[in-house]
Amino acid sequence: MVYSDIEVASREELRDIQTERLTETVAYAYENVPYYQEALDEAGVTPDDIESVEDVSKLPFTTKEDFRDEYPDGLFAVDRSEIARLHASSGTTGKPKIVSYTDEDLDVWREVMARSLAAAGVTDDHVVQNAYGYGLFTGGLGFHDGVEELGACVIPVGGGNTARQIDMIQDLESDVLSATPSYCLYLAEAAEEQGIDPAELSLSRVIIGAEPFTDPMREEIEEALDVTAVDVYGLSEIIGPGVAIECEHAQDGLHLWEDHFYPEIVDPETGEPLPEGEEGELVLTSLTKEALPVLRYRTGDMTSLNYEECECGRTVVRMDNVTGRADDLLIVRGVNVYPSQIEEVMVDIEEVAPYYRIDLYRRNNLDTMELTVEYCESYEGTHDELESTIRQRLEEILEVKPDEIEVVGPGVIERSETGKVKRVFDHR
Ligand code: DLL
């Protein structure tokens, strides 16, 4: 179901809306955020130079460091009295990024979340169990408001509490689970431990996001819970969840609500815009935000854009699934390694459970990489056999070999019930 006509508008109509909104946003940011006035002046650009959406590339970038430098509210464009809500992003080090919303911003967020849920196949008859964390994290409240806006029923369970979570699914017959992909697997595993077949639960779909996952990982979730798993993307700096989502129809790229968020793809090294279809770093400009307008935000997320109409009929641009971040790249003894490459191999080996961790150390001035992998309950072979299978498979795809592979039994690798999964531990 298409929630809003704009999802199927012609490309010309979309472009006109984007042009109008971009010119407004740039003038608004220039007038109301001293940081942007300075940044534009420095770049030698005035709001009048922005005449169409293509002029976006004249604007300077906004980065994570700018959010940090302007902590807590230096990027806000409105007075405190106009701010209806504050959230904070989940930074692992240093101060979080504080993000703000006016009433109108919250309306936009509800609308894009409702569109997203509808695209994922959620209807007003559905019961959505929301297992994203409530609180400063945008996942919980973002989903919550969107489900209400759509007219479906939300169960605000939040993150963790897995035994209760499973009871709720069983007793209240939840149709949809919104949760991180790692939590979906955690829940399936916990159900099994309780003697419940997770595939027999009432869930028909899960809406997974907030962290990268690979295709085999998605298949694992779909099989374990017998659901359709739909990928949802978003980030606090831009609004929260609901920037883009796959439709359940095609599951082929995430429909990005480009009447509110303008996407570009740039070379992560040079910042130069890349030709259509090429993979690079996603850069987003907010087109309707009041409290926190953001110009050309460097998301750090690697993806590509596809402007072809989807088989579901939506005409808005689709972004590819984000399987990594520009800064995810691990450089081990001078060689590039993406954790997603390792994950693909892990999930592809039947005897291995989808739990692994990568530890990097510097010993005697040399990088060392240790991989810890868990085998499945059903595995009957020896540790050595499995280790050599893993080593062989990794050698086919990686230029640099792990120095050590440790194979451990089921449940040994620490699980996290809440928040985003952490698989790489760089001790260097
Ligand atoms: O994670 C918002 C969100 C909540 C999205 C619930 C989806 C579901 P932040 O905490 O600010 O916001 O983290 C944003 O998480 O830049 C990506 O690196 C990563 N991320 C978010 N969604 C996906 C996804 C929320 N579907 C950062 N696939 C982003 C891969 C994702 N990475």
Query: Residue 89: CB within 6 Å of ligand 1?
Result: yes
pLDDT at residue 237 in the model:
97
- What gap in Å lies between CA 232 and CA 139, rounded to an integer? 11
Determine the Cα–Cα distance for residues 313 and 296; give it in Å rounded to an integer.
28
Instruction: Tell how far the Cα of 116 is from the centroid of ligand 1, in angstroms.
Output: 14
414 or 49: which leads in pLDDT: 49
Tens of pLDDT along 328-356?
889 999 998 988 889 888 888 999 988 89
Ligand 1 and 78: CB distance under 6 A: no
**Bigger pLDDT: 276 or 329?**
276
Do 76 and 17 share a structural domain? yes
Specify the pTM. Answer: 0.94
Question: Which atom in ligand 1 lies closest to the alpha carbon of residue 137?
Answer: 10
Domain around 398: 329-426
Task: Tell me the C-alpha distance between 209 and 229, whole Å.
Answer: 10
Best of 218, 235, 283, 323 for a ligand 1 pocket test (most atoms within 8 Å of beta carbon): 235
Judge whether residue 203 has pLDDT over 90. Answer: yes
Place of tokens 């819970």: 225
Q: With 70 as the cut, is the pLDDT of residue 93 above it?
A: no
Task: Identify whether residues 276 and 336 lie together within a single domain.
Answer: no
Backbone angles phi, psi at 207, to 5 degrees: -115, 105
Q: Is the CB of 139 under 6 A from ligand 1?
A: yes
CB burial of residue 397 (10 Å; 0-12, 13-18, 19+):
exposed
* pLDDT for residue 188 is more than 80: yes
Same domain? For 24 and 64 the reply is yes
Is 138's C-beta closer than 6 angstroms to any atom of ligand 1?
Answer: yes
Same domain, 342 and 321: no
Extract the runs of DSSP E, i.e. beta strands, from 191-323. 205-209, 228-235, 240-246, 254-256, 261-266, 280-286, 297-303, 305-306, 318-319
Instruction: Give residue-wise pLDDT tens across range 6-32.
Output: 999 999 999 999 999 999 999 999 999
364 has pLDDT over 80: yes
CATH number assigned to the domain comprising residue 365:
3.30.300.30
The burial class, CB within 10 Å (0-12 / 13-18 / 19+), for 8 is: middle
pLDDT at position 91 is 65
174 & 215 share domain: yes
Last residue of a domain, one of 267, 299, 327: 327
From 280, 296, 327, the end of a domain falls on 327
Centre of ligand 1 to C-alpha 32, Å, is: 28
Q: Give the pLDDT score at 212.
A: 92
Same domain, yes or no, for 255 and 337?
no
State whether 349 and 261 are in the same domain: no
273 DSSP 8-state letter: B
Tokens of 201: 């639960």
CA of 134 to the centre of ligand 1 (A): 15
- Determine the distance separating the centroid of ligand 1 and the alpha carbon of 59, expressed in angstroms: 25
Residue 424, class by beta-carbon neighbours within 10 Å (0-12 exposed, 13-18 middle, 19+ buried)? middle
In terms of DSSP bridges, do strands 261-266 and 280-286 run parallel, antiparallel, or are they unpaired? antiparallel
Q: Based on the domain organization, do 163 and 271 belong to the same domain? A: yes
Encoding tokens for residue 91? 């930074």
Report CA(332)–ligand 1 centroid distance (Å): 26
